[in-house]
Amino acid sequence: MNKSSKYHHGNLKEEMLQLSLETISKEGIEVLTLKFLGDKLGTSRSAIYRHFSSKHDLIQNVIAYGFNLFEEALIPTLNKTNGTVLERLYSMGDSYLNFAIKNQNLYRVLFGEKYQDIRETTCTLANENIEDSFTLLIMLLEEGKEKEILKIENSFLQAQTIHALIHGIAILYIDGHINIKKNIKELYKISFDSLINGIKK
């Protein structure tokens, strides 16, 4: 099956998003343009513009696509029916770090300052009824509180604190701090244990 016949079956947008992620991973988002995608995929400008009206629109879709992948990495660990609250919390952070390490350039796009405005618009447009990992994290903390495992006054702020901790470790790794690269899992375990010791009953 050639490319043009695949596109007629409605796969062009998906292929463009996948190519965008590959390009971000290998070369960074700076080289990503609609023309670049069209040249790489050998398709016309009109076909490209049927899916994305501008580079801004493309980046917004890439961010939404990237966050879907991020949620797919975290939600299963938070939705586990087996394992203790603390085990599930630890697994969530481990999955978070694995995603950040595997997708370093994409992670910067999703959580960095440069595309903050586009990210906020994308998140605002998202369906509020869809489960997200941050909401599930809050629910898990509430579960720990109800089971008298954790002493938490504000689950939302505690979830933000946990996110800040893991995000900080991820960024240190991505920025190339040698000691972090060598010991990231050990650092995460020590950090997690220190945090949990502060909120565990």
What is the rounded average pLDDT of the residues 155-163? 95
Higher pLDDT, 149 or 123: 149
Q: How far apart are CA 201 and CA 12, in angstroms?
A: 53
Q: What is the pLDDT of residues 88-130, one digit of tens each?
A: 999 999 999 999 999 999 999 999 888 788 877 776 554 444 5
- Residue 74 banded pLDDT, cuts 50, 70, 90: very high
- C-alpha distances (whole Å) from 39 to each of 3, 43, 48 are 13, 7, 10
Amino acid at 34: L
Tally the C-alpha atoms within 13 A of residue 38's C-alpha that lie toward its C-beta. Answer: 16
Average per-residue pLDDT for the chain: 86
Residue 152 contacts residue 166 (beta carbons within 8 Å)? no
pLDDT at 8 over 50: no
Q: Which residue has the higher pLDDT, 5 or 123?
A: 123
> What is the model's pTM?
0.84
For residues 124 and 109, what is the distance between their CA atoms, to the nearest angstrom?
A: 17
pLDDT of 44 above 90:
no
Distances (CA, A) of 176 to 21, 40, 172, 180, 185: 21, 31, 7, 8, 15
- How far from 40 is each of 19, 22, 47, 106, 146, CA to CA, in Å? 9, 12, 13, 20, 54
Residue 131: per-residue pLDDT: 66
Residue 169 has pLDDT above 90, yes or no: yes
pLDDT category, 1, cuts 50, 70, 90? Answer: very low
Instruction: Give mean pLDDT, residues 177-185.
Output: 81
Q: What is the pLDDT of residue 124?
A: 56
How far is 61 from 11, CA to CA, in rounded Å? 15
- The DSSP symbol for 200 reads B
